[in-house]
Amino acid sequence: MYRTLFITLSILLCATSAYAGASDKLKTFIAATRSGQADFTQAVLDKNGKKIQSASGTMQFVRPGKFRWSYQKPYAQLIVGDGEKFWLYDMDLNQVTTRKLDAALGSSPAALLSGNNEIERGFALKDNGEKEGLDWLEATPRTQDTSFEKIRMAFNSKSELVVMELHDSFGHITMLRFSSMQRNPQLAPSLFKFVPPQGADVLGE
């Protein structure tokens, strides 16, 4: 499940007008944000709304194509995109899975936020109005090569992306909430490099 979720990838922060619709805030965010970092919590709900999985950790990204998601609870996992390859390291299993980055992204949340400023080429965007003080957006992939039927995002009054919901074809919803966000921080290049640990099983190369 985590591999599918890996990137919600390039997410974060401030855009501009507090009075813009959510789709405008998303476009402004993509245009204005080169890098970011945040803490996150993640919950997976089944089709009946029952929580079946939860996790938390930290994430960083540099657009386009570089990201790092570090899951600390309940299991230690590290997900890294180095601009060319996608790496998933399961520390408990001492197992690494790698793929070409383009193949791993596809029509995913990462592709939606990855930064070519042409998001409407891959996704149909629709404002979903305001709920509990947040402006909501729905993004529907234009192609069928994705495991997600739709993606919903919520922005606060400061135009920060604070919630992302991933709706899959099985009726599951993955909810990501972001906190302690920083926009355009200076991030060390070493964060986005990954070398498989000695003795780890490497799959996919």
User: Which residue's structure tokens are 């966000």?
Assistant: 181
Domain ranges within the chain, ordered by starting residue: 2-203
pLDDT tens track for 106-134: 555 555 555 455 567 777 889 999 998 89
Measure the CA–CA gap between 116 and 112, rounded to whole angstroms: 9
Specify the DSSP element, H or E, that contains 192: none
pLDDT at residue number 140: 87
| 56-112 pLDDT, tens digit each | 999 888 887 788 899 988 889 998 988 888 899 999 999 999 988 776 665 555 555
Phi, psi for residue 39 in degrees, rounded to 5? -85, 155
Q: Cα–Cα distance between 44 and 35 in angstroms, integer? A: 26
Q: Which CATH number fits domain 2-203: 3.40.50.300, 2.40.30.10, 3.90.870.10, 2.50.20.10?
A: 2.50.20.10
Q: What is the mean pLDDT of the chain?
A: 81
